[in-house]
Amino acid sequence: MKRKEDENASKNTITDSRKMRTPDVKYVSAYFNTVGGNNVVVIPKRKSNEIEMIDTHNDMKSLNSLPSELRSDAYRRKADNNTWKPPKSLFRFEPLLQEYYVYDPWRVLVVSVLLNRTTGVQVRRVLSNLFYLCPNAKSCIEVEVGKIEQVIRTLGLQNNLAKALQRLSHEYLYGSWTHVTQLHCVGKYVGDAYAIFCTGEWRNVTPTDEVLLSYWNFLSRIM
């Protein structure tokens, strides 16, 4: 009888613990300063010897290795004195995702890389948690790659994509790049988005992506 009571008590404990669980756990980088809430898990900074460093000088694309189209001055790195602020679009529906992050070129790159892999609907669902976990390029490099995978798992190929974002961020911070197209995962689409939303070189690019072209046409009408 005692054993039966113990088994029932154990089952009740398991049931109660399941009821207490909450699925709304958010993983937050230690670099994010305004952490709060009961369901927030702060991811500590990793020590430098725990980070898989990338030799940007050997692995980053050289300018001469790029197709001539991607060596255009339109893709040059944003200068410190560049004050370009793209106007808000007047589209019937929601603005382009890049429009929400024009204050941070790194975020524009991340958003564009994700959009180049899947649909805007899917990307929109993960961005809030992704930038909560990785508010900047440095935190993206140092957070555990598995945490990034958890956040973007609905996009598919999350392991490769998480590593790609970390490599992009490492090259963005530490690489000696002159053109954004030298960075990992940055081709014409991502480069065009950078030129349009970050540097104001929109007149010197011709987007082939339909959605990006719609914003380009909008600029052409008002500028």
Strand-pairing partners, residue 27, are 41
Catalytic (active-site) positions: 209
The reply to whether 52 falls in a domain is no
Whole-number Å distance between alpha carbons of 18 and 198: 47
Residues 6+ apart with CB under 8 A from 118: 155, 156
Number of domains comprising the chain: 1
- Residue 109: which domain range? 66-222
pLDDT band (50, 70, 90) for residue 94: confident
**Does some domain include residue 15?**
no
Is 54 a member of any domain? no
Residue 53 in domain: no
Domain CATH number, residue 194: 1.10.340.30
Q: Does residue 202 lie within any of the structural domains? A: yes
User: What are the pLDDT digits (tens) for 199-208?
Assistant: 999 999 999 9
pLDDT digits (tens, 9 = 90+) for 118-158: 999 999 999 999 999 999 999 999 999 999 999 999 998 88
Long-range contacts for 170-173 (Cβ within 8 Å, ≥24 apart)? 170/53, 170/54, 170/56, 170/137, 170/141, 171/54, 171/56, 171/60, 172/106, 172/109, 172/137, 173/137, 173/138, 173/141
Whole-angstrom distance, CA of residue 41 vs CA of residue 93: 34
Whether residue 153 is contained in a domain is answered as yes
Helix (H) or strand (E) holding 42: strand 40-43
